[in-house]
Structure 1
Protein backbone atom coordinates (compact mmCIF):
# COMPACT_ATOMS: atom_id res chain seq x y z
CA UNK A 1 0.00 0.00 0.00
CA UNK A 2 1.72 3.21 1.12
CA UNK A 3 5.03 1.67 2.07
CA UNK A 4 7.11 1.79 5.20
CA UNK A 5 10.28 0.49 3.59
CA UNK A 6 10.02 -2.66 5.68
CA UNK A 7 11.36 -4.87 2.88
CA UNK A 8 13.68 -2.24 1.36
CA UNK A 9 17.40 -1.76 1.89
CA UNK A 10 18.07 -0.19 5.32
CA UNK A 11 19.77 2.88 3.78
CA UNK A 12 17.08 3.55 1.15
CA UNK A 13 15.13 6.16 3.09
CA UNK A 14 18.29 8.08 3.99
CA UNK A 15 19.52 8.09 0.38
CA UNK A 16 16.11 9.16 -0.97
CA UNK A 17 15.99 11.99 1.60
CA UNK A 18 19.44 13.18 0.55
CA UNK A 19 18.53 13.04 -3.15
CA UNK A 20 15.28 14.97 -2.58
CA UNK A 21 17.17 17.58 -0.56
CA UNK A 22 19.61 18.10 -3.45
CA UNK A 23 16.90 18.19 -6.14
CA UNK A 24 14.38 20.44 -4.40
CA UNK A 25 16.59 22.51 -2.12
CA UNK A 26 14.50 21.90 1.01
CA UNK A 27 15.83 19.74 3.82
CA UNK A 28 14.18 16.31 3.80
CA UNK A 29 14.67 13.79 6.59
CA UNK A 30 13.43 10.26 6.99
CA UNK A 31 11.14 9.60 9.91
CA UNK A 32 12.64 7.26 12.49
CA UNK A 33 9.23 5.60 13.03
CA UNK A 34 7.56 5.10 9.64
CA UNK A 35 4.38 3.60 11.12
CA UNK A 36 3.79 6.62 13.35
CA UNK A 37 4.55 8.99 10.47
CA UNK A 38 1.88 7.30 8.33
CA UNK A 39 -0.82 7.52 10.99
CA UNK A 40 0.00 10.82 12.70
CA UNK A 41 -1.63 14.03 11.50
CA UNK A 42 -0.44 16.24 14.36
CA UNK A 43 1.27 18.88 12.22
CA UNK A 44 -1.72 19.22 9.88
CA UNK A 45 -4.14 19.43 12.81
CA UNK A 46 -2.01 22.07 14.54
CA UNK A 47 -1.74 24.15 11.36
CA UNK A 48 -5.47 23.86 10.67
CA UNK A 49 -6.28 24.90 14.23
CA UNK A 50 -4.02 27.95 13.99
CA UNK A 51 -5.56 28.97 10.65
CA UNK A 52 -9.08 28.48 12.02
CA UNK A 53 -8.26 30.66 15.03
CA UNK A 54 -6.78 33.34 12.76
CA UNK A 55 -9.85 33.26 10.51
CA UNK A 56 -12.16 33.64 13.51
CA UNK A 57 -10.18 36.63 14.80
CA UNK A 58 -10.14 38.31 11.39
CA UNK A 59 -13.89 37.76 11.04
CA UNK A 60 -14.46 39.39 14.43
CA UNK A 61 -12.31 42.38 13.46
CA UNK A 62 -14.17 42.75 10.15
CA UNK A 63 -17.57 42.54 11.86
CA UNK A 64 -16.51 45.07 14.51
CA UNK A 65 -15.39 47.52 11.82
CA UNK A 66 -18.62 46.98 9.89
CA UNK A 67 -20.79 47.64 12.95
CA UNK A 68 -18.75 50.58 14.23
CA UNK A 69 -18.80 52.22 10.79
CA UNK A 70 -22.50 51.64 10.26
CA UNK A 71 -24.70 54.64 9.83
CA UNK A 72 -25.53 57.40 9.27
CA UNK A 73 -29.16 57.10 10.36
CA UNK A 74 -29.56 54.00 12.49
CA UNK A 75 -26.04 52.66 12.96
CA UNK A 76 -23.40 53.15 15.57
CA UNK A 77 -21.26 55.56 13.53
CA UNK A 78 -18.26 55.38 15.86
CA UNK A 79 -15.83 54.94 12.95
CA UNK A 80 -15.70 57.17 9.90
CA UNK A 81 -14.53 55.35 6.79
CA UNK A 82 -13.50 57.66 3.92
CA UNK A 83 -15.83 57.68 0.94
CA UNK A 84 -13.72 56.52 -1.99
CA UNK A 85 -16.64 55.91 -4.33
CA UNK A 86 -20.16 57.27 -4.42
CA UNK A 87 -22.74 55.17 -2.65
CA UNK A 88 -25.98 53.86 -4.03
CA UNK A 89 -28.87 56.03 -5.19
CA UNK A 90 -31.23 53.56 -3.52
CA UNK A 91 -29.39 53.75 -0.18
CA UNK A 92 -28.54 57.37 0.70
CA UNK A 93 -25.52 57.76 2.92
CA UNK A 94 -24.03 54.43 1.88
CA UNK A 95 -20.21 54.40 1.82
CA UNK A 96 -18.15 52.14 -0.43
CA UNK A 97 -14.66 51.95 1.15
CA UNK A 98 -12.87 50.18 -1.68
CA UNK A 99 -9.34 51.56 -1.46
Structure 2
Protein backbone atom coordinates (compact mmCIF):
# COMPACT_ATOMS: atom_id res chain seq x y z
CA UNK A 1 0.00 0.00 0.00
CA UNK A 2 2.70 2.43 0.94
CA UNK A 3 4.74 1.79 -2.19
CA UNK A 4 1.68 2.27 -4.40
CA UNK A 5 1.47 5.78 -2.96
CA UNK A 6 5.10 6.38 -3.91
CA UNK A 7 4.57 5.24 -7.48
CA UNK A 8 1.45 7.40 -7.75
CA UNK A 9 3.32 10.43 -6.37
CA UNK A 10 6.06 10.01 -8.96
CA UNK A 11 3.55 9.41 -11.77
CA UNK A 12 1.67 12.59 -10.85
CA UNK A 13 4.93 14.54 -10.77
CA UNK A 14 5.83 13.30 -14.24
CA UNK A 15 2.33 14.20 -15.47
CA UNK A 16 2.74 17.75 -14.14
CA UNK A 17 6.05 18.06 -15.99
CA UNK A 18 4.51 16.80 -19.24
CA UNK A 19 1.66 19.29 -18.93
CA UNK A 20 4.14 22.13 -18.50
CA UNK A 21 6.28 20.85 -21.36
CA UNK A 22 3.53 21.30 -23.94
CA UNK A 23 3.17 24.99 -23.05
CA UNK A 24 6.95 25.47 -23.08
CA UNK A 25 6.90 24.72 -26.81
CA UNK A 26 4.78 27.78 -27.63
CA UNK A 27 6.87 30.33 -29.51
CA UNK A 28 6.12 34.06 -29.46
CA UNK A 29 8.29 34.65 -32.51
CA UNK A 30 6.67 36.92 -35.04
CA UNK A 31 4.87 38.89 -32.34
CA UNK A 32 7.43 41.72 -32.61
CA UNK A 33 8.23 43.76 -29.48
CA UNK A 34 4.82 43.79 -27.80
CA UNK A 35 2.88 40.99 -29.45
CA UNK A 36 1.04 42.82 -32.22
CA UNK A 37 2.94 41.19 -35.06
CA UNK A 38 2.86 44.44 -37.01
CA UNK A 39 5.24 44.44 -40.01
CA UNK A 40 5.85 40.69 -39.66
CA UNK A 41 5.20 38.60 -42.77
CA UNK A 42 1.98 36.59 -42.56
CA UNK A 43 2.64 33.04 -41.37
CA UNK A 44 6.15 33.84 -40.12
CA UNK A 45 5.59 32.33 -36.64
CA UNK A 46 4.17 29.10 -38.05
CA UNK A 47 7.04 28.87 -40.54
CA UNK A 48 9.66 29.27 -37.79
CA UNK A 49 7.90 26.74 -35.54
CA UNK A 50 7.74 24.22 -38.39
CA UNK A 51 11.41 24.77 -39.25
CA UNK A 52 12.45 24.34 -35.61
CA UNK A 53 10.35 21.16 -35.41
CA UNK A 54 12.25 19.71 -38.34
CA UNK A 55 15.65 20.73 -36.98
CA UNK A 56 15.15 19.70 -33.35
CA UNK A 57 12.40 17.04 -33.49
CA UNK A 58 10.63 18.97 -30.70
CA UNK A 59 6.92 19.91 -30.93
CA UNK A 60 7.22 23.71 -31.21
CA UNK A 61 4.06 25.62 -32.10
CA UNK A 62 3.19 29.21 -32.88
CA UNK A 63 1.80 30.77 -29.68
CA UNK A 64 -1.94 31.39 -30.05
CA UNK A 65 -1.68 34.66 -28.10
CA UNK A 66 1.56 36.56 -28.68
CA UNK A 67 0.70 39.20 -26.06
CA UNK A 68 0.50 36.58 -23.32
CA UNK A 69 3.54 34.68 -24.57
CA UNK A 70 5.72 37.81 -24.53
CA UNK A 71 4.43 39.53 -21.41
CA UNK A 72 4.22 36.70 -18.88
CA UNK A 73 6.43 33.97 -17.55
CA UNK A 74 3.56 31.83 -16.30
CA UNK A 75 4.77 28.68 -18.05
CA UNK A 76 8.23 28.94 -16.49
CA UNK A 77 6.65 29.47 -13.07
CA UNK A 78 4.39 26.45 -13.68
CA UNK A 79 7.40 24.30 -14.65
CA UNK A 80 9.34 25.50 -11.61
CA UNK A 81 6.41 24.56 -9.38
CA UNK A 82 6.12 21.12 -11.00
CA UNK A 83 9.85 20.48 -10.52
CA UNK A 84 9.65 21.67 -6.93
CA UNK A 85 6.67 19.42 -6.21
CA UNK A 86 8.44 16.39 -7.70
CA UNK A 87 11.62 17.15 -5.74
CA UNK A 88 9.70 17.41 -2.46
CA UNK A 89 7.91 14.13 -3.22
CA UNK A 90 11.22 12.36 -3.90
CA UNK A 91 12.75 13.70 -0.68
CA UNK A 92 9.70 12.50 1.27
CA UNK A 93 9.93 9.05 -0.31
CA UNK A 94 13.66 8.84 0.50
CA UNK A 95 13.04 9.92 4.10
CA UNK A 96 10.22 7.39 4.50
CA UNK A 97 12.41 4.56 3.18
CA UNK A 98 15.25 5.64 5.45
CA UNK A 99 12.92 5.68 8.47
CA UNK A 100 11.32 2.34 7.58
CA UNK A 101 14.76 0.79 7.16
CA UNK A 102 16.13 2.19 10.41
CA UNK A 103 16.94 -0.17 13.18
CA UNK A 104 17.32 -2.73 14.54
CA UNK A 105 17.56 -1.21 18.05
CA UNK A 106 16.12 2.29 17.95
CA UNK A 107 14.31 2.43 14.64
CA UNK A 108 11.21 1.09 13.04
CA UNK A 109 12.94 -1.70 11.13
CA UNK A 110 9.95 -2.53 8.92
CA UNK A 111 12.01 -2.54 5.76
CA UNK A 112 15.21 -4.49 5.26
CA UNK A 113 17.29 -3.14 2.41
CA UNK A 114 19.73 -5.62 0.85
CA UNK A 115 23.40 -4.77 1.03
CA UNK A 116 24.91 -3.88 -2.31
CA UNK A 117 28.39 -5.15 -1.59
CA UNK A 118 30.44 -6.42 1.31
CA UNK A 119 32.49 -3.96 3.34
CA UNK A 120 31.82 -0.44 4.49
CA UNK A 121 31.05 2.76 2.60
CA UNK A 122 34.54 4.01 3.45
CA UNK A 123 36.47 0.88 2.46
CA UNK A 124 34.48 -1.24 0.00
What's the TM-score, normalizing by structure 2?
0.54
Which residue in 1 is equivalent to 2:71? Answer: 39
The offset of 1:80, in angstroms, is: 1.4
**1 or 2, which has the higher helix percentage?**
2
User: Please, what is the CA RMSD of the aligned residues?
Assistant: 2.7
CA distance, structure 2, for counterparts of residue 17 and residue 63 of structure 1:
43
The offset of 1:62, in angstroms, is: 0.8
Q: How does 1:1-99 map to 2 (within 5 A)?
A: 4=32, 5-86=37-118, 88=120
Structure with bigger RCO (C-alpha 8 Å, 6+ apart): 2
Question: Aligned residue pairs: how many?
Answer: 88
What's the TM-score, normalizing by structure 1?
0.64
